[in-house]
Structure 1
Amino acid sequence: MAKRNYLVEGLSGTGKSSVYEELVRRGYTAITTDRAWAYSADPDTGLPGGPIGHDTWMWDRQKAVGELESPEPDVLFVCGSSRNRDHFLPYFTKVFNLRIDDDTMRRRLEARTDD
């Protein structure tokens, strides 16, 4: 059986971290890209540095491809998103896009304490 990579993405506050935690709790192999692959970079050159923001949040190509191409585990859930995520879409069997209503998103973002 070929390896299956699943991307779980969505805007800030939609629940990517909660999905990650639940997948791990249930025994699945999952990574959160904010911790494993992401860095702030110039959007044109990909060189590290600059302020952290939507336009500068990138996945490290070497780290991402290394995990996505690795034969183990058979199933990998990748939770997160980045400006350059389109470059990695061919590695994913399926993409899950989390969505919530505006009021819920606003409430969640206002209650955040960790990022």
Structure 2
Amino acid sequence: MSGTGKSSALAELGRRGYRVVDTDDPGWREYREDVQSADEVRRGEWLWVEERMTKLLDSDVGRSLFVQGCVRNQSKFYDRFDAVVLLSAPADVILDRIARRTTNSYGKTPVERAMILDDLARVEPLLRESCTHELDAGRPLDEVVADLIA
């Protein structure tokens, strides 16, 4: 879910020495678009590059690994993770963060904001059902990171 602080939490975990992978980075995911769809909000979807994700998860280096992302096919990998954590926050918090952030341009257009709100309504409940933990990401970053490490 965009704007919940996944990238910020991951960056802080990396700063603290944890092994991290941000699947929003190039090469980890691909966009599949239905170009014939007239619905701009639901025209396409992001998917993890399965071969690359499998290779990452097969490379056990004996250190904790934190992976962040939200894509359509992530549930294919859930059995490979010790925990699947949903960071959630109210829509107003998410939209405010997206409006203020400077490290990611996603969510700045009206269509992208509509997509984010659509994801909150349709996707977040599915994530909530399938996660092993849910954290209130409206709290300060240090508190969220402490809970992720715990």
1:58 aligned to 2:40? no
If asked which structure has higher relative contact order (CA below 8 Å, sep 6+), I would say 1
SS state of the match for residue 41, structure 1? strand
Q: State the alpha-carbon separation in 1 of the partners of residues 11 and 101 from structure 2.
A: 16
For residue 41 of structure 1, report the CA deviation from its aligned partner: 2.1
Q: Contact 2:4/2:94 (CA < 8 Å) preserved in 1?
A: yes
**Structure 1 segment 1-115 matched on structure 2, within 5 A:** 11-35=1-25, 36-42=27-33, 55-113=44-102, 114-115=104-105
Q: State the alpha-carbon separation in 1 of the partners of residues 79 and 43 from structure 2.
A: 22
Q: Name the amino acid aligned to 2:64.
A: V
Figure out how many residues of one structure are paired with residues of the other and give that number.
97
Q: State the alpha-carbon separation in 2 of the partners of residues 80 and 100 from structure 1.
A: 16
| Cα root mean square deviation, aligned | 2.1
Which structure would you say has the larger Rg?
2
Q: Name the amino acid aligned to 1:91.
A: R
Q: TM-score, normalised by structure 2?
A: 0.58
For residue 106 of structure 1, report the CA deviation from its aligned partner: 1.4
Runs of 4+ aligned residues of structure 1 deviating over 3 Å after TM superposition are none
After superposition, the C-alpha distances for 1:1-50 in whole angstroms (9 at most, x for unaligned) are xxxxxxxxxx100000001110011000001001151111258xxxxxxx
- Higher helix content, 1 or 2: 2
Q: Contact 1:54/1:83 (CA < 8 Å) preserved in 2?
A: no
Gaps in structure 2 of 5+ consecutive residues: 35-39, 106-150
- Cα–Cα, structure 1 residues 65 and 99, in superposed 2: closer, same or farther, change >3 Å? same
Q: Contact 1:32/1:80 (CA < 8 Å) preserved in 2?
A: yes
